[in-house]
Structure 1
Amino acid sequence: MYKIARENLTALFQKIAADQELYLPVRTADQVNFGVWTEDADVDLDTLKSVKSPKDVFFPQSETLYTCIRDGKKLKVEPEALKEQDFVVFGMKACDLKGVEVLDRVFLSDPVDSFYAARRDHGTIVSMACHEPEETCFCKVFGVDAADPQADVATWMIGDDLYWKPETEKGQKLTENLADLLEKADDAGSEAAVGEEQEKIRTIIEKLPYSNLSLEGWNGDVLMEKFESPVWEKLYKPCLACGTCTFVCPTCQCYDIKDYDTGHGVQRYRCWDSCMYSDFTMMAHGNNRTSQKERFRQRFMHKLVYFPANNDGMYSCVGCGRCVEKCPAALNIVKVVKAFQEEEV
């Protein structure tokens, strides 16, 4: 294990960014989101969660797939180049790491999404343990350990020092490149410091209001039972169909493909979409979910039933709590699970 003083982190960031891109939490207009590091970036490692998850480092909110160029009567198709530059994502929390694992199940399964795969191949993730989880967090429910975030490199901010532990070959390579800045930590002392920090984090988590939320009755075997439940009729009505929940979620992977007329041809691009929108999956004959109740139900059935049914029991929720914080109508996955529990009592 290694460590580096907080006051030397800027030098660490400079060293990383010297030969590859560096993404980390940056404060802009009083909001923290993952962005590219620059010399004048307002880096914020103390805010627990970014507004959006950092999933767009691997699955951008919008990206060009290919361009069709018209030259008289000739038409040329130019595919967009895949990611070729190495990059580092610094400061991802355990819930967001689990979110990437969910996205891997989607985009790295056959047929493999080449754009996503290229970014995963070139990306190195440096995680950071959650120093003080908040009331909206419920990652423990989905088997996520906020105190021990598994990544290429795992880190813990303890006092004025950042403890650094490489976990994979990518992590070891990054560590070797930063050897002149990282101090070899005393094994016994550093393990004790990290162990004490982990115990504090887990103690906080045990006291959070949603940490013991029960998922009993939710799995891939209850499709029709949950689908036909009258509970949805009571739950969906306050929903504004704004899509906020899907845009801040670390695991939502729905996208639309659109064409943009450049005047000299067409750019085909994809962009995030939301199952909460009335025009989602719109086809020539219309939409197959014609009511907001159906769209609301789709979101939560996918998280808690459809996805685990097709992915060895893995839920498509990581308990980050962003939907709990951001939904303007106070609707979220916790409320859905509790509503079904009350109905079954």
Structure 2
Amino acid sequence: MKKILKNKFSDLFSKIDESYELFLPIEVDGKVNFDMWKQGDTVNVEKLKTNISPKSFIFPQSETYLKFKRDGKKLELDNVGGKKEEYVLFGVRHCDARSFKLLDNVFLSDPVDALYEERREKGTIVSMACFNPAQTCFCSSFGIEPQTTSKEVDVNTWDIGDSILWDPQTQRGENLTKQLKDILEDVTEQDESELNALQEATNDKLKELPLANLDPKKIKGELNDLFESEIWGELSQRCLGCGSCTYVCPTCHCYDISDFKGDTSGERFRCWDSCMFSDFTLMAHGNIRKTQKERFRQRFMHKLVYYPNNNEGAYACVGCGRCVEKCPVHLDIVKVIKKLGGE
């Protein structure tokens, strides 16, 4: 394990930027989101979580992957998209890091999504542990320990005050660490002692959170019984179908494919979509989910039942709490888990 003093952050970022595209939590007008770093940016690694999850770096909100051009009867196709440059995503919280693994289960399963795979292979993920979880956090309900070591990243880091502790986990992490050997220092026994104290204190904080006892494993029953449950009609009455929950969610992965066509050229692109929208999965004969109840049910049955049934019990939620914070009518996955669990 190594460390770097915070007053050397500018040197750290500049050194990484020499070999990689560097993306950091950048604060603009009071909002913190991941963006490409440049000298003079306001970096805020102390913000608990970014406004929008960093999944867009491996699954972009909009991505062109085919361009076409017509010349008479001749058609020219050009495959584009993907990620060509090596990059470092620095400051990812453990909940967001887990979401990458959940997305891997979708896009790297056969047939593999080549554009997604390329983005994953080009990236080095550096985490930032959490010591001050918010009242809306419930990552521990899904087995995530935000203050310890994440297995889903290339480098783990911990903010202990004046310095950041640095611990590479993979070969990519080791490669990055070697490039920073002139900046990183050895940790001391006092550093390790401070880290242990912070981790223990965080463990106590997690137990005191309002959602500490939320347990998705309490959801039991046959698939048909859960599907036909009366709670869907009850809860969905308040849902606006705005899609805010899906767009801030780090694990949602629905998308649409569209063509933009000019006179002689055009492009095919995909962009995020939401199962909460009335035109999602719209086909020639109409929509297979005609009511908000059906769309609401699809979202949460997928996260809490369908996905774990197909992925060795892993739920499609990481407890980041963004949907709890963003839903304009305070209708979120927490309420669904409690209702399906019998509360």
TM-score range (shorter-chain normalised) is over 0.9
Query: What's 1:43 paired with?
Result: 43
Query: What's 2:228 paired with?
Result: 228
Could you list the per-position Cα deviations for residues 60-103 of structure 1 after superposition, in whole angstroms to 9, with x for gaps in the alignment? Answer: 00001100112233210101153221100000001001100100
| In the alignment, structure 1 residue 131 sits paired with structure 2 residue 131 | yes
How far apart, CA to CA, are the structure 1 residues paired with 2:120 and 2:217? 34
Is the 8 Å Cα contact of residues 64 and 81 (structure 2) preserved in structure 1? no
Kindly report which structure 2 residues correspond to 1:13-32, keeping only aligned pairs within 5 A, or say none.
13-32=13-32
Query: What's 1:168 paired with?
Result: 170
**Superposition deviation, residue 189 in structure 1:** 3.2
Kindly report which structure 2 residues correspond to 1:151-230, keeping only aligned pairs within 5 A, or say none.
151-186=153-188, 188-218=189-219, 222-230=222-230
What is the TM-score when the length of structure 1 is the normalising length?
Answer: 0.96
Secondary structure at 2:22's aligned position in 1?
Answer: strand
**What is the number of equivalent residue pairs in this alignment?**
341
Aligned-partner residue type, residue 271 of structure 1: C
Is the 8 Å Cα contact of residues 127 and 149 (structure 1) preserved in structure 2? no
Could you list the per-position Cα deviations for residues 285-334 of structure 1 after superposition, in whole angstroms to 9, with x for gaps in the alignment? Answer: 11100000000011110010000000000000000000000000101000
Kindly report which structure 2 residues correspond to 1:49-60, keeping only aligned pairs within 5 A, or say none.
49-60=49-60
Could you list the per-position Cα deviations for residues 155-207 of structure 1 after superposition, in whole angstroms to 9, with x for gaps in the alignment? Answer: 00111111111111111110010111111112x33332221121122111111
Q: Indicate the RMSD between aligned Cα atoms, in angstroms.
A: 1.3
How far apart, CA to CA, are the structure 2 residues paired with 1:218 and 1:96? 24
**Superposition deviation, residue 263 in structure 1:** 4.0
**Superposition deviation, residue 340 in structure 1:** 3.0
**Superposition deviation, residue 261 in structure 1:** 2.1
**Superposition deviation, residue 262 in structure 1:** 4.0
How far apart, CA to CA, are the structure 1 residues paired with 2:193 and 2:5? 18
Q: Using the TM superposition, name which of 99-108 and 29-38 deviates more.
A: 29-38
Kindly report which structure 2 residues correspond to 1:68-83, keeping only aligned pairs within 5 A, or say none.
68-83=68-83
How far apart, CA to CA, are the structure 2 residues paired with 1:30 and 1:297? 35
Aligned-partner residue type, residue 123 of structure 1: G
Query: What's 2:298 paired with?
Result: 298
Aligned-partner residue type, residue 178 of structure 2: E
Structure 2's unaligned 5+ residue stretches are: none
Aligned-partner residue type, residue 154 of structure 1: N
How far apart, CA to CA, are the structure 2 residues paired with 1:81 and 1:308? 30
Aligned-partner residue type, residue 121 of structure 1: E
Secondary structure at 1:205's aligned position in 2?
Answer: helix
**Superposition deviation, residue 222 in structure 1:** 3.3
What is the TM-score when the length of structure 2 is the normalising length?
Answer: 0.96
Could you list the per-position Cα deviations for residues 4-63 of structure 1 after superposition, in whole angstroms to 9, with x for gaps in the alignment? Answer: 111111111111111210111111232111111111222111110111110011000000
Query: What's 1:242 paired with?
Result: 242
After TM superposition, which residue ranges in structure 1, 4 or more long, deviate above 4 angstroms? none
| In the alignment, structure 1 residue 5 sits paired with structure 2 residue 2 | no
Secondary structure at 1:226's aligned position in 2?
Answer: helix
Secondary structure at 2:181's aligned position in 1?
Answer: coil
Is the 8 Å Cα contact of residues 6 and 160 (structure 1) preserved in structure 2? yes
Q: Using the TM superposition, name which of 2-11 and 78-87 deviates more.
A: 78-87
How far apart, CA to CA, are the structure 1 residues paired with 2:324 and 2:82? 35
